[in-house]
Chains A and B, each alone.
Chain A
Amino acid sequence: MGMWDNAFEKKWSAVFLAMYVIVMLPVECFYATTYAASWKGLPIFMVGWFWHTLITMILIVVFYVQAMKREEYLEFGTEG
């Protein structure tokens, strides 16, 4: 299956590509040229990277759960 084969694939490809582009944006929470203090004095981009990674990880798990309910993902069995 490819990234744009059907509505399900298109939706998830768009979600992950959006998250991919977002982390590369030169905005303060990902790329900061002046120091903005956050939790325990950490630069804000460290906290921004953390939340972005956590949200993307959750999205990966949701994608996995939804994909495993679809026939085409069961083609080679589900023994893990």
Chain B
Amino acid sequence: MIVPAPGTFFLVLGGYFLIMALIGYYSAKKTNSLKEFFVMGGKAGAIVSGIAYFSTQYSMSTFMGVPAACYQQGYPGLTVSVPGLVFSMIIPALVVGRKLIRLGHKYDLLTVADYLNDRYESDALRSLQAVLMVFFVVPMMGAQIIGSGIIFNTFTGYPEWIGVVATGVIVILYCMSGGIRGAMLTDVVQGLLMVTTAVVTFFAALQLGGGLEAINAKLLELNPAYMAHPGATGSYHWPRLVSMVVMWSFFSIGSPQLVTKFFAMKNYKVMFKAVILGTLGMWVSATLIEWVGVLGIVSVPGLEGAQRDFIVPLILQKAVSPVIASLMIAGIMAAGMSTIDSLLVVSTGGISRDIYQKLLNKDATDGEILKLSRYVTVVLGIIAILFGIWRPGAIFDIIIFSFGGLTIWATPILLGLYWKRTSGIGAITGIIVGVLVYIPFSASTAMLDKLGLNALQPLSAALKSYAMGFDALIPTWIVAMIVTVLVSLVTKPVSEATLKRHFS
């Protein structure tokens, strides 16, 4: 198992945190308006947009939980993201991205709630989006912070909560001072570090195992199920393949931390270049780091249970110098931090702009909201830290649950952009029904227990038995779409003027 080496680890991690803090300081000097805080003034370039998109999408679980699953399953484990990753950005760009860039530039939209409010002429929908977003974003941030705590504990021997707090404080600092600019600029450094970590670990694992051909021959000898679907424990049947491909691409159109990136893009050329760059980053980092999990079966045999989560750090520790290993492990923490920062900025927008400025105090100036946003960032960051210490479930379970809860908004966004008849009441009803179905459908037994929702356990078990192997998000989305369409057909559509602006 991993031997703690606190000296080197502290030194490298300290240097990494210092760079993040300096970027936050630089971003703070450039951030003096609300539009700068939330969407970089709508002037983000291709490199920043592309790398920020992929590093936001890929989180701590990409570098820990998923390689661990691949270690358990063999090659079918890569089904989690490899077959569909090329669509992670082009599908959102194709379906909603171009329309949102145009609407954002023309009508000064900064957040998803801005779009929904404008399209559906509904303050209620704006409030609902902001409240539900915060409800699901906090666990998502907490899950990333939990991972940082585990890594910190493993490499230093100090308690997890110290790592949780240290990571949380650094992210709060650069988001509070630099808003989305701080988040996206740090994402660039973090994204490059993630790619480097994936490449170095992959070649280290190949070397340890004696080369690709020898590893594959050994895998076949150990267990032929490592080489074919549904994998060694039978988890990757065809419905899972479909779920994973659809989940990380199509459903991203409802994910506020990803959709907001389109509002920040300067023009369509930037969008295309960002799609190409971001997809390449995803292709390299996800494929190689998940593959590492499979190579690790031969390179570092015999890991059981929670030990499997450390397959990437273990390979690094065995194959490269302590300094390089510490830097690459900082790359794993970067994967978590690059997701937390974007979530923190969008959830701040949900409270300070969508709820406070647009509903509670319509006279508040942008300057006042900018100041308030910095306070809200700190408060939400602290809540995420506390959630990380509380730790209500396994990291991957929390991430899947939260991601689904956020992306259910794909329904009103998609219908709002493509079907004129969609009404505000229809959108609200669809979302409420969707969330009510999704929570028992998706939450694990342990999570329902921790949330005090034990009464939902029988319903949860019944719903899961109807999923036919597909992820809960797919049937939930179908239900939400049907409800939205049916209710829209019997309620009043939005005004002609609004439709003209959105469909011209």
Interface residues of A (CB under 8 A from B): 1-3, 12-13, 16, 19-20, 23-24, 26, 30-35, 37, 40-43, 45-46, 49, 52-53, 56-57, 60-61, 63-64, 67-68, 73-80
Contacts and interface: CB of A to CB of B under 8 A. Distances in A.
Contact of A68 (B241, B249, B269): B269
A2 to B, nearest CB: 6
Contacts of B242: 24
Nearest to A72: B268
A25 to B, nearest CB: 9
A68 to B, nearest CB: 6
Interface in B218-258: 220, 224, 227-230, 238, 241-242, 245-246, 249
Interface in B199-225: 212-213, 216-217, 220, 224
B224 A60 contact: no
Interface of B: 45-46, 75, 78, 82-87, 90-91, 94-95, 98-99, 101-102, 105, 212-213, 216-217, 220, 224, 227-230, 238, 241-242, 245-246, 249, 266-270, 272-273, 275-276, 279-280, 283, 417-418
Nearest to A56: B86
Name, among B86, B101, B230, B417, the residue most crowded by chain A CB atoms within 10 Å (CB to CB): B86
B220 A41 contact: yes
A11 B216 CA distance: 41
Contacts of A2: 98-99, 417-418
A67 B273 CA distance: 12
The secondary structure that dominates the B interface is helix
Given A16-B91, A53-B86, A34 B228 contact: yes
Contact of A16 (B82, B90, B217): B90
A77 B229 CA distance: 47
Contacts of B270: 80
A40 B212 contact: yes
A32 B228 CA distance: 6
Given A78-B267, A79-B266, A60 B279 contact: yes
A26 B91 contact: no
A75 B45 CA distance: 16
Contacts of B99: 1-2
Nearest to A53: B86
Given A16-B91, A80-B269, A1 B102 contact: yes
A1 to B, nearest CB: 5
B276 A64 contact: yes
A41 B213 contact: yes
A34 B230 CA distance: 9
B460 to A, nearest CB: 27
A33 B269 contact: no
A57 B101 contact: no
Given A16-B87, A24-B83, A33-B230, 11 more contacts: A20-B91, A23-B245, A26-B241, A32-B228, A32-B229, A42-B212, A52-B83, A52-B86, A53-B283, A79-B269, A80-B266
B85 to A, nearest CB: 7
A76 B227 contact: no
19 contacts: A3-B95, A16-B87, A20-B91, A20-B245, A24-B241, A26-B238, A33-B229, A45-B83, A52-B86, A56-B86, A57-B86, A60-B272, A60-B275, A64-B272, A64-B273, A74-B268, A75-B267, A76-B266, A77-B266
A20 B266 CA distance: 27
B275 A78 contact: no
A38 B280 CA distance: 24
Contact of A30 (B46, B83, B230): B83
A67 to B, nearest CB: 7
A35 B220 contact: yes
Given A57-B86, A64-B276, A41 B230 contact: no
B224 A46 contact: no
Contacts of B101: 76
Contacts of A56: 86-87, 90
Contacts of A49: 78, 82-83
A55 B276 CA distance: 13
Given A1-B102, A2-B417, A35-B224, A76 B217 contact: no
